[in-house]
Structure 1
Amino acid sequence: MSSGGGAGGRAAVGVVAPGAMGVALGRCLAVGGHRVLMTAAGRSASTAARLADAGIADAGSTDAVVGEASVVISVVPPGQARATADEIAASARRTGARPLLLEANAVSPATVVEVAATVRGADLAVVDAAISGPPPRPDAEHPTRIFLAGPRSGEVAALDVPGVRWVGLAGDLGAASAAKMCTASVRKGHQALLAHALLTAEHHGVLDTVLADLRLDFAHDDVRHAAAAATKAWRFVEEMEEIAATQSGAGLTPDLFTAMAEVYRHLATSEWGSRRPEDVPAGLASPSGLRPHPGGG
C-alpha cells in the first residue's frame, strides 16, 4: 500500500478516469469521508469541468493519483482497460507506490486476468470488480451494486461509500466480471432488441400496437428506454465484444453478441448516438432518431 493508509476505514482513493461513472464514484467516496484523487490531465475541457462540478480537485497527473492512493479504481470504456492498466503500472514504477488496483471495467474474465498479469510486474495486487446499475448517487434509494472477487476484495468492501453496495463473490479473479457479463448480456441485449423492434414496427405502421403489447410483459419498454441506450452505443460496442468473448470462453457461440456489437455500432451513428442520456425527453414517442445513418457503422 502507498502512504494513503489501509484500504478500510477512511482511505485515499484514486479514480482513473473521470468519465460520468468515475466522477459519480468519486463523489460518493468523498461523501464517505475518503480523500479522492482524480485528474483531467491530457483530457478534454469537458472532463475538467466535470471534475470541477463534482467539487473534486485535480491532482495534476496520473502519477499523483497513483502515488498517493491506497486504492486505485480503473473505470474506463472497456476498450481502454488494458491501456489504462499499463498506465497505472507505469505510474506505480515511477512513484514506487503499491496501491491496490480495483479493476472495475465492463470486461470479460479473460481481460481481468490479462490486466492482473500486466500490473503484476509493478507489484500491484488486483481486485476484480463489476458495476451493476447506474452511476451511484450518495442519496439514491437503491444503491448501485458493485460485485467484488479476489483474495483482497474484503479490503475494498470495508470502504464506506454511500450510494454503493459492495457484493462479495466467493470466486477468484474474473468471477465479478463474469457476473457482470451475464447480467449485461440480458439488460443491454434487450435494449438492442427493443431498438430494432421499434424501428421495424414504425416501418410497418404498427408501433402503437407493438408498444402496447410489449408493456404487458415489459412495463418499462418504450422509445425513451431505447433512445437512452443509443446515447451510450459507442461504449456498448466494446462491452458486447467482451460479452461475446466471455460466452465463447464458456463453450458457447460468440456470434450472438458479435451481432449485438454490430447493432450498437450502427445505433452509434443514429441521431441519439451523438446525444447524452439527459437529452432524451421523457415523452419521446417516435423511434425515428434511432435509425442508423445510411452507410454508418
Structure 2
Amino acid sequence: MATIAIIGAGAMGSGIGRQLAEGGASVLTYLEGRSPGTHERARAAGMEPASLEDIIGAEIVLSIVPPAEAIGVAERLSAAIGERPSPVTFVDCNAISPKTMNAVAAAFRPGQANVLDGSIIGLPPQPGKAGPKLYISGDRADKSAVLAAHGLHVRRIEGAVGAASALKMCYAGINKGMTGLGTAMLLAAIGSGADQSLKREMAESVPDLDRKLSSAIPDMYAKAYRWVAEMEEIAAFLGEDDPASQIFRGMAGLFQKMAEDRAGGGELADQLDALLGR
C-alpha cells in the first residue's frame, strides 16, 4: 500500500484524497489550524491527519491549495525536511503561473525534493463520475506513476517544470475567462434593460454558449473568491507587455466583485439567476 500525502483538504483536495484511498492508497493530510468542517471533510474522504514529519515521509506529496498559498506550503515543507538524507517527491498541483511554479521549486534547498509541476483540469471527483485529469511535467523518473496506480487520471506532458502550469493558465484563461465575460455582459445588459432581449438572442443564435453560461455562472458564485488570485496568475503569465494581461486583471476585479456580492447577500447573483432561469 502506497502512502500518499495531500496538503489541502478542500473540495478538490479531499476529492482527490478519496479517489486515492478508494484506489488502495493510505492518504495522509496536514490539518493544523484548519476548521472543523475541513477536518470532517478529510475524515469523510478517508484521509488521515498527520504531522509534517509524517507528511514528508510519504511516497509522494501533493499540494492542492489556493494559488496564494502555494509558495508558503513549499517553504513549510522545506523547513520540515531540513537535512533529511533522501529527497521528498513533491507535486505542486495549484493554479499558478510558470514563474510562480519556479518560485515554489526554489523554496526547496538542493537535494531536499524532487519537484514536479502539476495542474488539475476538471471538477473534483464525484462518485460514479470520472475524476479530473492531473497533468504533470518535469517527471523524467516517472514518480507520478504511483498516483495513476491508485486511481488518478494522470497525463504526463513534455517539458520541464512550468509546462503543466502553462497549460493550466491557458485552459483556465479560456474556460473561466468565458464565464467572467458572460457574467460581465449579462450584468451590463441587466443594468441597461437589454437583458431579456440579449438572453433571447443568445438562446436563438448561440444556444451552446447560452447553455454553458446558464450552468457555469451560478456555479461560479461560491468559487469567485478563489478565482481572483488565479486570474492574477494568468495576467502574470501573459506578462506586462501583452495587452491581454489587462483582460485578466479585469477578470480578477470582476470575480472579487462577485465574491463581495455573495458575502453581502447576493443581490447581483439573484439578478443573474432570474435572467438565467435558475
- Do they fold alike, i.e. is TM over 0.5? yes
Moved more, 167-176 or 263-272: 263-272
Q: Does the CA-based 8 Å contact 1:100-1:126 persist in structure 2?
A: yes
Which 4+ runs in 1 deviate beyond 6 A?
272-275
- Residue of structure 2 in register with 1:105 after alignment: 94
Q: Is the 1:109–1:246 contact (alpha carbons within 8 Å) kept by the matching residues of 2?
A: yes
1:274/1:133 CA distance change after superposition, 3 Å: farther
Query: Is 1:259 paired with 2:242?
Result: no
Look up the equivalent residue of 1:189 and give its one-letter code.
Answer: G
Contact 1:231 1:273 survives alignment (8 Å): no
**Map of 1:1-297 to 2, 5 A cutoff?**
10-59=1-50, 61-66=51-56, 68-93=57-82, 98-121=87-110, 123-137=112-126, 139-140=128-129, 142-152=130-140, 154-159=142-147, 160-162=149-151, 164-215=152-203, 216-217=205-206, 218-248=209-239, 252-253=242-243, 254-271=245-262, 284-286=273-275
Q: Secondary structure at the match of 2:261?
A: coil
Task: Please report how far the alpha carbon of residue 138 of structure 1 lies from its aligned counterpart in structure 2 after TM superposition.
Answer: 5.6
Residue range with higher mean Cα deviation, 32-41 or 74-83:
32-41
Q: Which residues of structure 1 form unaligned runs of 5+?
A: 1-9, 290-297
SS class of match (2:144)? helix
The separation in 2 between residues aligned to 1:158 and 1:219, in whole angstroms, is 40
Q: How many matched pairs? A: 270
Matched-pair identity in %? 32
- The alpha-carbon distance between structure 1 residues 255 and 284, as it changes in their structure 2 partners (threshold 3 A), is closer
Stretches of structure 2 that go unaligned for 5 or more consecutive residues are: none
State the shift of 1:259 in Å.
1.3
What is the rounded CA distance, in whole Å, between the counterparts of 2:10 and 2:53 in structure 1? Answer: 18
**If each structure's helix is expressed as a fraction of its own residues, which one has the higher value?**
2
The normalised TM-score by structure 1 is 0.82
RMSD value over aligned CA atoms? 2.7
SS of match in other structure, 2:94: coil
